[in-house]
């Protein structure tokens, strides 16, 4: 056999095979990392969209807390004008929340650190306001909140000719072991001549967003009557101080988790209200994102 017809030796084949295997392994690792990076970025993008959407919904509703055309006016029979106490009647166990609102009160809350089997703290928020514009709850409108979507005005109803009070209850509950933010709402007409409220429409509980790891509400309390919050408290702190009528703003925190597990690197934590929190099930290695906003309304 001539030198030109000589093939590869066994050693050369083994070296070539080893190099090829190493290259395939490296390329495979790069591909897996690229897929994981894409998956992580896609998940974060969806979480950001969800967070911005739900904050927009909650902010829009919360800015109307306590709204009245003239909350200090003397009620006139047959008109839509009334004092706060007349328009906002006493409401015990509002929408099944377990929260009692006295006459004239427009916001309330509850905090339970052992809400879900001792592992998940629960915040409840209830508030109400007077409907001011027929467009807000018209059947054709796309501008009002999902919380009030099925309690709109019927044909011929005019909020300027009656007192329409909207009540909203926001809370987190488990849905197939997934913490979900829910909303329940009702609309009722208050008769200023009899002091009675006629429930017109009551919505079913609506799931607004799933994978809500935390829903924290802090209440801005005005302690010196300057219309500005001096301190932000949880609902249990406000209850102990009896300051519900002095609430001038609220601060909302939403912590969203990724639906998929094994995405985060290492042991995930997140910051909420300046505190580092370890997730309830850190071994799931989910991604977490915190969304927050402070809402100060002229209606408080």
Confidence of residue 295 (pLDDT cuts 50, 70, 90): very high
In 3D space, the residue among 94, 91, 93, 72 whose CA is nearest the CA of residue 83 turns out to be 72
Rounded distance, CA 203 to CA 206, Å?
8
Give the percent of the chain with pLDDT over 70. 80
Confidence of residue 116 (pLDDT cuts 50, 70, 90): low
Average of pLDDT values for 193-218? 85
Which of 12-38 are b and which e, b meaning 16 or more Cβ less than 10 Å from the residue's Cβ?
A: eeeeeeeeeeeeeeeeeeeeeeeeeee
Average of pLDDT values for 85-97? 89
Rounded distance, CA 192 to CA 161, Å?
12
pLDDT surpasses 80 at 242: no
What's the pLDDT at 231? 92
What's the pLDDT at 182? 94
Confidence of residue 109 (pLDDT cuts 50, 70, 90): very high
The backbone region for 222, taken as left when phi is positive above 0, alpha when psi lies in -120 to 50, beta otherwise, is beta
* pLDDT 10s digits, 210-228: 999 889 999 999 988 888 8
Rounded distance, CA 97 to CA 69, Å?
27
pLDDT surpasses 80 at 58: yes
Number of Cα atoms under 13 Å in the Cβ half of residue 14: 3
In 3D space, the residue among 199, 204, 203, 124 whose CA is nearest the CA of residue 165 turns out to be 199
Please count the other Cβ atoms lying within 10 Å of the Cβ belonging to residue 240: 10
**Entry pTM:** 0.82
As a 3-state breakdown, the chain gives helix, strand, coil percent values, each rounded to 5, of: 30, 30, 40
The Cα-based distances of 53 to 40, 47, 48, 215 in angstroms read 20, 10, 8, 15
């Amino acid at each position: 056999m001539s030198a030109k017809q000589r093939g590869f030796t066994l050693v050369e084949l083994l070296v070539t095979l080893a190099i090829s295997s190493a290259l395939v392994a490296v390329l495979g690792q790069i591909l897996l990392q690229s897929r994981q990076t894409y998956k992580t970025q896609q998940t974060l993008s969806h979480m950001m969209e969800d967070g911005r959407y739900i904050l927009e919904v909650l902010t829009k509703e919360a800015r109307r807390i306590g709204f009245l055309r003239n909350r200090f006016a003397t009620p006139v029979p047959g008109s839509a004008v009334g004092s706060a106490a007349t328009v906002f009647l006493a409401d015990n166990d509002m929408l099944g929340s377990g929260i009692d609102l006295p006459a004239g009160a427009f916001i309330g809350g509850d905090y339970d650190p052992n809400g879900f089997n001792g592992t998940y703290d629960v915040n409840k928020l209830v508030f109400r306001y007077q409907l001011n514009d027929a467009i807000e709850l018209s059947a054709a409108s796309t501008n009002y909140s999902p919380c009030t979507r099925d309690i709109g005005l019927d044909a011929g109803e005019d909020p300027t000719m009656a007192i329409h009070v909207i009540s909203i209850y926001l809370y987190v509950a488990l849905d197939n072991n997934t913490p979900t933010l829910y909303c329940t709402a009702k609309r009722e007409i208050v008769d200023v001549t009899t002091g009675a409220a006629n429930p017109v429409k009551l919505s079913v509980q609506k799931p607004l967003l799933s994978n809500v790891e935390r829903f924290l509400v802090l209440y801005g309390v005005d302690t010196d009557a300057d219309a500005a919050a001096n301190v932000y408290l949880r609902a249990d702190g406000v209850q102990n101080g009896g300051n519900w009528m002095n609430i001038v703003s609220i601060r909302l925190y939403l912590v969203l988790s990724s639906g998929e597990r094994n995405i985060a690197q290492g042991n995930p934590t997140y910051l909420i209200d300046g505190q580092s929190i370890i997730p309830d099930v850190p071994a799931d290695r989910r991604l977490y994102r915190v969304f927050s906003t402070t809402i100060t309304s002229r209606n408080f």
